[in-house]
Amino acid sequence: MALKFFNTLSRAVQEFVPLDPTGNNVGLYCCGPTVYDFAHIGNWRTFVFGDLVRRYLEFKGYGVRHVMNITDIDDKIIKRVHETNTPLREFTGKFEAAFFDDLKTLNCRPPHHTPRATEHILEIILLIEKLLARGLAYKASDGSIYFSIEKYRGSGSQYGQLVNLNFEEMRVGERVRSDEYAKEALADFALWKTRVPEDGGVFWPSPWGEGRPGWHIECSAMSMKLLGPSFDLHLGGEDLMFPHHEDEIAQSEGAALQAPGQKFVKYWLHGAHLLVEGKKMSKSLGNFFTLRDLLGKGFNGREIRFLLLQARYRETFNFTLEGLQSARVSLMRIDECLTKLRELAGSIGAQQDAPLLSEFSTALDDDLNVSRAWGAIFDWVRDTNRRLADNSMDAASAAAGLATWEKLDAVFGVGAPSEVEVPIEINALLEARQAARKAKDFKKADAIRDELKAKGWIIEDTPKGARVKKT
């Protein structure tokens, strides 16, 4: 079956046909974090969704170039820099580093490029110059440069490709300076914002005087620089559809760098909102969580990633602490099943479990139907446990099961930490206990067992010897 995605551009589920027919150069751009604070769990749903798309494309054999920008200059950052009186780079650097730590905690594959907006001011200026030269941008009386929606539409282009817009209410020439605005405030938007006192020391020289870029132009400039004027996939949260993504299309296609008949982006994928404990996340409701808040409550990256991957990306998902508890139990079921398979198989096999693999890819080909894919995995766990219990599984099918799991987990990325993660000190204690038992010094063996327990590890005696497990 062919891979299909829901494309916001066509409002339909479409087969994925890459621009490069060899499939070796799939361009994937995900709007990255605005580094003014720690990313919250709603943001993380989008980034994990981006990681899933990338991993699944790789699973299907595509060569993917994954770009995720770092917005290190925008209205929100300027405001915080001003409030905290911190130099820009020092301020954003802290949150950028935290973002990359969190990305790792959630086992997301690092994007191939993570361009910073502040390092692409030249590309931004060149793009604005193209828009000015094409008559689609103009300098306002305050010295800022704006994108003219009237001129753009007048040139035969469509503004409102991702969302339906009501132009009746729009007053020609009305402008919006802020990076974020609602559909009702439809107006010409800022490409370059002339320097104002609140910007403090944050400004760059440009042909139009000192100032800074608008948020939307940053993504157009960086994506086209790294992926070319036309690329395959652009992802983001649904809150970015308007104005951010709509403006990206207008700027990028307005500059007319694409080959005739080509669009800026072929497939636009948008992730739905996350509710937390049944409600929209807000600090006043006490349901606003950063990843760190959840780690602080004793959950780990695996459990959080697992939960974020339970619902299909286009569905609103209710993220709860109870859900995280269930995630822990589900992962334990998988881990226990895999441990038993490893004991029986000895090593991972060359053969794979073809029905499981095919059910998994049929589910994900269908616009990333993760619920169905998990359903297939848990059916397999149940069936495997049954076969293990009645001794009807041989070493070869255990090895095949393990090989299949490795393949599926390259997509979901929730695999169990392997034995090598047992600290050396703990392994040494385990060996000392074995030695004591061998020497029939059971008092010493028990003392070591208690010591391990105090350190959070319990010993399990199996037919293949003893091993430790975290309590």
Interface residue with Zn ion among 3, 19, 30, 31 (CB under 5 A) is: 31
Contact region with Zn ion (CB under 5 A), list: 27-35, 53-61, 136-144, 202-210: 27-35
Contact region with Zn ion (CB under 5 A), list: 26-34, 145-153, 319-327, 444-452: 26-34
Q: In this complex, which beta carbon is closest to Zn ion, that of residue 165 or of residue 219?
A: 219
Q: Which residue's entry shows tokens 């409701």?
A: 285
Angle between helices 41-59 and 354-365 (to 10 degrees): 120
Give the nearest distance from C-beta 30 to Zn ion in angstroms. 8
Give the nearest distance from C-beta 132 to Zn ion in angstroms. 22
C-alpha to C-alpha distance for 95 and 107, rounded to whole angstroms: 18
Q: In this complex, which beta carbon is closest to Zn ion, that of residue 267 or of residue 360?
A: 267
Give the nearest distance from C-beta 393 to Zn ion in angstroms. 49
Nearest CA-CA partner of 436 in 449, 424, 423: 449
Q: In this complex, which beta carbon is closest to Zn ion, that of residue 98 or of residue 219?
A: 219
Examine residue 324 and tell whether it contacts Zn ion (CB under 5 A). Answer: no
Residues 6+ apart with CB under 8 A from 94: none
Tokens of 252: 């990028």
Angle at 172 between CA 169 and CA 173, to 5 degrees: 130
Give the nearest distance from C-beta 189 to Zn ion in angstroms. 14
Tokens of 467: 């091993």
Residue 468's H or E segment, with its range, is strand 465-470
Q: Give how many residues touch Zn ion by CB under 5 A.
A: 2
Strand partners, 260: none
Q: Answer yes or no: are the C-beta atoms of 6 and 12 closer than 8 Å.
A: yes
Q: Is the backbone peptide bond immediately before 243 cis, with ω within 30 degrees of 0? A: yes
3-state secondary structure of 144: coil
3-state secondary structure of 250: helix
Contact region with Zn ion (CB under 5 A), list: 8-16, 23-31, 94-102, 162-170: 23-31
Give the nearest distance from C-beta 219 to Zn ion in angstroms. 3
Contact region with Zn ion (CB under 5 A), list: 4-12, 29-37, 55-63, 398-406: 29-37
Q: In this complex, which beta carbon is closest to Zn ion, that of residue 243 or of residue 323?
A: 243
Tokens of 449: 């067992």
Give the nearest distance from C-beta 35 to Zn ion in angstroms. 13
Q: Answer yes or no: are the C-beta atoms of 266 and 232 closer than 8 Å.
A: yes
3-state secondary structure of 458: strand
Label residue 428 exposed, middle or buried (CB < 10 Å: 0-12, 13-18, 19+).
Answer: exposed
Examine residue 219 and tell whether it contacts Zn ion (CB under 5 A). Answer: yes
Q: In this complex, which beta carbon is closest to Zn ion, that of residue 214 or of residue 413?
A: 214
Contact region with Zn ion (CB under 5 A), list: 28-36, 204-212, 373-381, 443-451: 28-36
DSSP readout, 29-54? EE---BTTS--BHHHHHHHHHHHHHH
Contact region with Zn ion (CB under 5 A), list: 4-12, 18-26, 187-195, 212-220: 212-220
Give the nearest distance from C-beta 348 to Zn ion in angstroms. 40
CB atoms under 10 Å from CB of 384, counted, come to 21
Q: In this complex, which beta carbon is closest to Zn ion, that of residue 8 or of residue 352?
A: 8
Examine residue 162 and tell whether it contacts Zn ion (CB under 5 A). Answer: no
| DSSP-derived secondary structure letter, 244 | I
Q: In this complex, which beta carbon is closest to Zn ion, that of residue 31 or of residue 128?
A: 31
Give the nearest distance from C-beta 257 to Zn ion in angstroms. 18
Give the nearest distance from C-beta 422 to Zn ion in angstroms. 42
Alpha-helix runs per DSSP H in 346-390: 354-365, 370-389
Examine residue 19 and tell whether it contacts Zn ion (CB under 5 A). Answer: no
Contact region with Zn ion (CB under 5 A), list: 58-66, 154-162, 216-224, 380-388: 216-224
Residues 6+ apart with CB under 8 A from 101: none
Q: In this complex, which beta carbon is closest to Zn ion, that of residue 31 or of residue 398?
A: 31
Examine residue 430 and tell whether it contacts Zn ion (CB under 5 A). Answer: no
Q: In this complex, which beta carbon is closest to Zn ion, that of residue 219 or of residue 414?
A: 219
Give the nearest distance from C-beta 248 to Zn ion in angstroms. 6
Contact region with Zn ion (CB under 5 A), list: 75-83, 175-183, 219-227, 345-353: 219-227
Residues that bind Zn ion (CB under 5 A): 31, 219
